Structure 1
């Protein structure tokens, strides 16, 4: 494919990139920069384009990769490394007292809520809470795996609704 043919095909398909750039960046100026960078990279890498390949998909991929690389670069630049010594925290005596009464009350309310669950939900949930895997619970209760998963899910939803004030 000649350079002229490639450039014509590129120009005719370029306008589809602008909405995609705005969707990615959510900023008109950044979208314009991303669009220009995409067009530059497409022209610079024209020899990598295979004739017959979907040009729109090729351009979308270039744009997406540029956006992801820029995002990662910015995230890396915003990372702050604290190399200071925190030895002073080792000898910092801070005394805290846990409120055991409040914790006990919350635990009692949670246990009451669990025992108020319908038996069909309570049994799989308690087994799961005790550390059994889904497939082990399904074998114990002789129920399908999907049924066990949904019952545990609904038990969680019911508990969340009952204990929503925490």
Structure 2
């Protein structure tokens, strides 16, 4: 079958596709688009049509599959949450966020209590490091070796971690 013969046959059946397209889309413009897309796919792929089979059924199958594919694309696109609406909260100023300062107060009280329970030889280097002193500066101020400073800070951290393990987040 030549391309002209195939094209003539497809155009002859094209009118019968419109009611089915309208039934699928429920919109006149969408139905016209669906028929046009169906005819375009059919005319671009004449080699996929088997001569002697039902041309009308083949075109209906193309139209139905096209409709389903388009529908799936649309529903997939619209089912994604529009994250732009929620992104404003990530970059919001502190003015827009209401926080309960009570829980922070409890946490800070627990931290301060835990620090006060540390042995003095561990607490002093730890607090100096916490406020911004470097290891070498702490060693010079306390007149102890830098290795001892590092060890005492490490022990203080370890003890604090143990005392405050109720605040550790589970992985």
Greater helix proportion: 2
> For the pair shown, which has the larger CA radius of gyration, 1 or 2?
2
